């Protein structure tokens, strides 16, 4: 059998993924995702766009400092300032990469950059040469490549490689291309760029027409050996190619694709959950590979088939992507030892202090809920590992509501050792809670999105509330879990408030990235 070539998995969850409206992340949350991406086995982490904001810069630097296995990449426009900032951010990395981009399509050159082809050619070459002064590993992207004139594209690519680019990334920036057309473009690049053998061809596809994964895989068939993708397919507008779909597509159809990846597929579900809960972007139930329904069989005929032989209706084994059995793991009589052993099995390694706090949270949960499942533990842990300081903490919540009653909430919060209490009415019990919290904190939040899901099955399942809320200019996500959905709602709102009050000077991407890309 022919030996398979390696496909480089370039994860841009923390850069393009975070450009998804409302998906802003704290530096500590980005670091936590980067740790998980390392466990997942990605080759390159695009950790951010360092010039975009002090927060982005710090996050890339922290990740470059701690994460050792993958290459850490910072994005830069083709300007000296951007490149210097990116180089400084990735400097602590064991392997650092600078990713330089400039648009090459007639539309972008004319309306956005107001530059002629000759200027773009010159800037591309100079920018790559400048980046090479700082790192050996330079990636170049002709932005909006899929809508660029092929002849011009070939010349820009040739110039970038001559200047030292080691990866040439072909973005379908607006998700416009089709699999056949994009595959042909990659073939044409291989045939028409004389020095193409000196660089890896990469692709970066957006999902505006739902074709990001199909276009990326078509490119792989025509010689691309790096794919840029994000966990859960999050990203600008309709998102980017989804990492889990690319990886499982290649693994499931070994007969079709001449490549393999180094991804530890059993970490996929955990990565998906972590990204979803920290960004507040809920995964649609019918999402391939990681959606709640991806391995559920409703029809009797299908269930019968599965019971007789799994392969009748399942082309992937759920265990392979990290779905465990929804096992009963612990109960209220379980001790600390059983608890820490279970955490280790789940792949979480916590400090002594974190273990103490999560053990307390587990005990409280076990008091309310007879059976504590892996999913419940993961929810507690996700809240713990990327925790921002609890500036306001929920101490007590009581609501009244019902037909013909005015919904009201009484809330007590802890703040710097003080107890603050107030009450308010609202359009419903959740609204009453949020109005009361606003009265106590003096903030005024505008709720943009609110979703509730059950973490595990059963009537006593924990509810997880994920929301997006706007405070002045800033849009934040919040998440809260509890067996009581009103308490979960209040916790989610408070977690967004605590993020807002934490690091107020490092404004998040929403305010800073605007106008840069």
C-alpha distances in Å from residue 135, one per residue of 56, 94, 159: 20, 11, 18
| Cβ closest to Zn ion, residue 16 vs residue 137 | 16
| Binding span for Zn ion by CB under 5 A among 9-17, 135-143, 261-269, 437-445 | 9-17
| Residues engaged in binding ligand KIV (CB under 6 A) | 16, 101, 141, 143, 169, 171, 173, 204, 206
Using CB distances below 5 to 8 A depending on partner kind, what does residue 358 bind out of ligand KIV, Zn ion, none? none
Beta carbon nearer to ligand KIV, 76 or 321: 76
221: helix, coil or strand?
A: helix
Identify residues 84-143 at the interface with Zn ion (CB under 5 A): none
Least CB distance to ligand KIV at residue 177 (A): 12
CB of 204 to ligand KIV, least distance (A): 5
Task: Return the CA Rg of the chain.
Answer: 24
Residue facing Zn ion at closest CB distance: 16
- Helix H or strand E encompassing 373: strand 372-373
267 binds, options ligand KIV, Zn ion, none, Cβ within 5 to 8 A by partner type: none
Cβ at position 16, least distance to ligand KIV in Å = 5
Between 16 and 487, CB nearer to ligand KIV: 16
18 binds Zn ion (CB under 5 A): no
Given Zn ion, ligand KIV, none, residue 426, with its beta carbon under 5 to 8 Å by kind, binds: none
| Rounded CA separation 509/71 (Å) | 23
Contact (CB, 8 A) for 96 and 133: no
- What is the closest distance, in whole angstroms, from the C-beta atom of residue 206 to ligand KIV in the complex? 6
Which one, 117 or 208, has the nearer CB to Zn ion? 208
Query: Which does residue 137 touch among ligand KIV, Zn ion, none (CB within 5 to 8 A, set by kind)?
Result: none
408-415 and 418-425 beta bridge pairing: antiparallel
> 141 is in the binding site of which of ligand KIV, Zn ion, none (Cβ under 5 to 8 A by kind)?
ligand KIV
Q: List Cβ neighbours of 504 (8 Å cut-off, separation of 6 or more).
A: none
Q: Which does 143 bind (CB under 5 to 8 A by kind): Zn ion, ligand KIV, none?
A: ligand KIV
The residue among 16 and 137 lying less far from ligand KIV, judged by its C-beta, is 16
- Only one of the segments 12-20, 353-361, 462-470, 473-481 lies at the binding site for Zn ion (rule: CB under 5 A); that segment is 12-20
DSSP string over 192-213: H-TTGGGSEEEEEEB-TTS-HH
5, 257 contact by CB (below 8 A): no
What minimum distance in Å lies between the beta carbon of 294 and ligand KIV? 27
- Which of 202, 277 has the CB closer to Zn ion? 202
Give the contact letters, 414-433, x = binds to Zn ion (CB under 5 A), - = no. Answer: --------------------
Tell me the C-alpha distance between 247 and 268, whole Å. 10
Nearest approach, Cβ of residue 512 and ligand KIV (Å)? 16
Q: How far is the CB of 238 from Zn ion (least distance, A)?
A: 11
Which of Zn ion, ligand KIV, none is residue 464 near (CB under 5 to 8 Å by kind)? none
Nearest to 394 by CA among 376, 410, 375, 377: 410
| Start-to-end Cα distance in the chain | 44
Residue 415 DSSP code: E
User: Ramachandran region of residue 281, left (φ > 0), alpha (ψ -120 to 50) or beta?
Assistant: beta
Residues 6+ away with beta carbon under 8 Å from 253: none
Contact yes or no for 67/42 (Cβ under 8 A): no
Q: Pick one of Zn ion, ligand KIV, none as the site partner of residue 480 (Cβ within 5 to 8 A by kind).
A: none
Cβ-based burial of 64 (10 A; exposed 0-12, middle 13-18, buried ≥19)? buried
Can residue 382 be called a binding residue for Zn ion (CB under 5 A)? Answer: no
Specify the stretch interacting with Zn ion by CB under 5 A; choose among 10-18, 256-264, 301-309, 317-325. 10-18
**Beta carbon of residue 216, minimum distance to Zn ion (angstroms, whole number):** 12
Q: Measured between alpha carbons, how far is 48 from 52 in angstroms, rounded to an integer? A: 8
Distance of CA 235 to the CA centre of its chain: 8
User: Which of 236/487 has CB closer to ligand KIV?
Assistant: 236
Q: Are 407 and 431 in contact (CB under 8 A)?
A: yes
**List of E strands, 192-322:** 200-205, 226-229, 259-260
b/e map 269-299, b = 16+ CB within 10 Å: bbbbbbbbbbbbbbbeeebebbeeebbebee
CB of 331 to ligand KIV, least distance (A): 48
Q: Taking the complex as a whole, how short is the minimal distance between the CB of residue 142 and ligand KIV, in angstroms?
A: 9
Rule CB under 5 A: say whether 16 interacts with Zn ion: yes
Binding site for Zn ion (CB under 5 A): 16
């Amino acid at each position: 059998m022919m030996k398979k070539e390696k496909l480089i998995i370039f994860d841009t969850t923390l850069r393009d993924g975070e450009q998804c409206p409302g998906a802003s992340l704290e530096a500590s949350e980005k670091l936590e995702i980067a740790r998980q991406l390392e466990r997942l086995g990605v080759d390159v982490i695009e950790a951010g766009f360092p010039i975009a904001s002090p927060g982005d810069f710090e996050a890339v630097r922290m990740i470059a400092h701690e994460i050792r296995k993958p290459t850490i990449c910072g994005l830069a426009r083709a300007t000296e300032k951007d490149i210097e900032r990116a180089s400084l951010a990735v400097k602590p990395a064991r392997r650092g990469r600078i990713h330089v981009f400039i648009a090459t399509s007639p539309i972008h050159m004319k309306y956005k950059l107001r530059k002629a082809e000759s200027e773009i050619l010159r800037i591309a070459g100079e920018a790559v040469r400048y980046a090479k002064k700082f790192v050996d590993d330079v990636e170049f992207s002709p932005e909006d490549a899929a809508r660029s004139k092929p002849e011009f594209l070939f010349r820009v690519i040739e110039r970038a490689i001559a200047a030292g680019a080691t990866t040439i990334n072909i973005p379908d920036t607006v998700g416009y291309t089709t699999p056949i057309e994009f595959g042909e473009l990659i073939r044409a690049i291989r045939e028409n760029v004389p020095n193409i053998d000196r660089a890896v061809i990469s692709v970066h596809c957006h999902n505006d027409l739902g074709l990001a994964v199909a276009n990326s895989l078509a490119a792989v068939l025509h010689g691309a050996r790096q794919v840029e993708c994000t966990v859960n397919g999050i990203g600008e507008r309709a998102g980017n190619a989804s990492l889990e779909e690319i990886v499982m597509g290649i693994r499931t159809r070994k007969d079709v694709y001449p490549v393999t990846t180094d991804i530890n597929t059993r970490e996929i579900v955990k990565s998906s959950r972590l990204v979803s809960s920290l960004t507040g972007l809920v995964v649609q139930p019918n999402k391939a590979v990681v959606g709640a329904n991806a391995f559920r069989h409703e029809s009797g005929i299908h269930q019968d088939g599965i019971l007789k032989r799994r392969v009748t209706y399942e082309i992937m084994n759920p265990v392979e992507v990290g779905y465990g059995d929804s096992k009963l793991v612990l109960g209220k009589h379980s001790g600390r030892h059983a608890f820490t052993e279970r955490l280790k099995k789940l792949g979480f390694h916590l400090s002594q202090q974190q273990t103490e706090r999560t053990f307390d949270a587990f005990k409280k949960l076990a008091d309310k809920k007879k059976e504590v499942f892996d999913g419940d533990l993961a929810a507690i842990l996700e809240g713990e590992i990327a925790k921002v300081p609890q500036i306001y903490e929920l101490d007590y919540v009581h609501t009244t509501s019902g037909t013909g009653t005015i919904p009201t909430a009484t809330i007590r919060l802890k703040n710097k050792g003080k107890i603050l209490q107030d009450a308010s009415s609202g359009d419903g019990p959740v609204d009453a809670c949020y109005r009361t919290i606003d009265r106590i904190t003096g903030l005024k939040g505008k709720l943009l999105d609110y979703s509730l899901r059950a973490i595990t099955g059963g009537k006593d399942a924990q509810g997880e509330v994920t929301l997006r809320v706007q405070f002045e200019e800033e849009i934040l996500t919040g998440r809260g879990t509890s067996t009581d959905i009103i308490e979960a709602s209040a916790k989610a709102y408070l977690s967004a408030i605590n993020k807002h009050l934490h690091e107020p000077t490092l404004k998040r991407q929403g305010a800073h990235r605007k106008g840069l890309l």
